[in-house]
Chains A and B, each alone.
Chain A
């Protein structure tokens, strides 16, 4: 079946502009996660959505970052007033909770490579 998809695959923007990154999770997965992968920091957790519960935003690095998940499916990560240090690969993952062994296993999309000039 279809995996996690993300768009765009690459995004180049100028410093100070806003960007939106999109994630389509695996159909039926109730949990959705955003991570950031950069050379200096490795893989960092950003935000987590689970069903209708309040999201865990503890990983967002600043108030310029926000995310929403509409209808329990598609998610958008928004970065306002982008800075050069925001350049990274943004990865989305989804998982199915409440089932058998390993069903909180996270499956990742291919990522969006963001370059801020």
Chain B
């Protein structure tokens, strides 16, 4: 079945780069997504990448997609304390009716 895997925790120092990794199973997903969730808040769409792209850059965010290995990563440059949150990777289910989420990676940024 469809599944999305992420590492659960990442700790970095302010100013460093953060890289959050994700693997997925459904190669038919047209788009792959990264969402951010701050404590007590809903999910905020960070960025998405079309499945025929290898890379997408959006300000401090870089998404890399390796479709052969079904591996997606999110790089945050110059990580700030405000980036501390849970980051979810998601793919679309085969029916195209829902997102399948990973368990989320908790990013902790220390000053």
Chain A residues within 8 Å of B, Cβ to Cβ: 4, 33, 35, 42-43, 45, 48, 50, 56, 58-59, 91, 93, 101-102, 104-111
Complex Cα gap A102–B30 (Å): 9
Q: Which residues of A contact B44 (CB under 8 A)?
A: 108
* Inter-subunit contact A42/B97 (CB<8 Å): no
Q: Which residue of B lies closest to A45 (CB)?
A: B98
Q: Which residues of B contact A58 (CB under 8 A)?
A: 97
Query: How many residues on chain B are close to A (CB under 8 Å)?
Result: 24
* Inter-subunit contact B48/A42 (CB<8 Å): no
Min CB distance B25 to A, Å, is: 15
* Inter-subunit contact B42/A111 (CB<8 Å): yes
* Inter-subunit contact A105/B101 (CB<8 Å): no
Min CB distance B39 to A, Å, is: 12
* Inter-subunit contact B97/A48 (CB<8 Å): yes
* Inter-subunit contact A105/B97 (CB<8 Å): no
Q: Which residues of B contact A101 (CB under 8 A)?
A: 50
Q: Which residues of A contact B48 (CB under 8 A)?
A: 102, 105
Complex Cα gap A106–B101 (Å): 12
Complex Cα gap A35–B99 (Å): 9
Q: Which residues of B contact A4 (CB under 8 A)?
A: 42
For residue B77, CB closer than 8 A to chain A, the reply is no
* Inter-subunit contact B101/A42 (CB<8 Å): yes
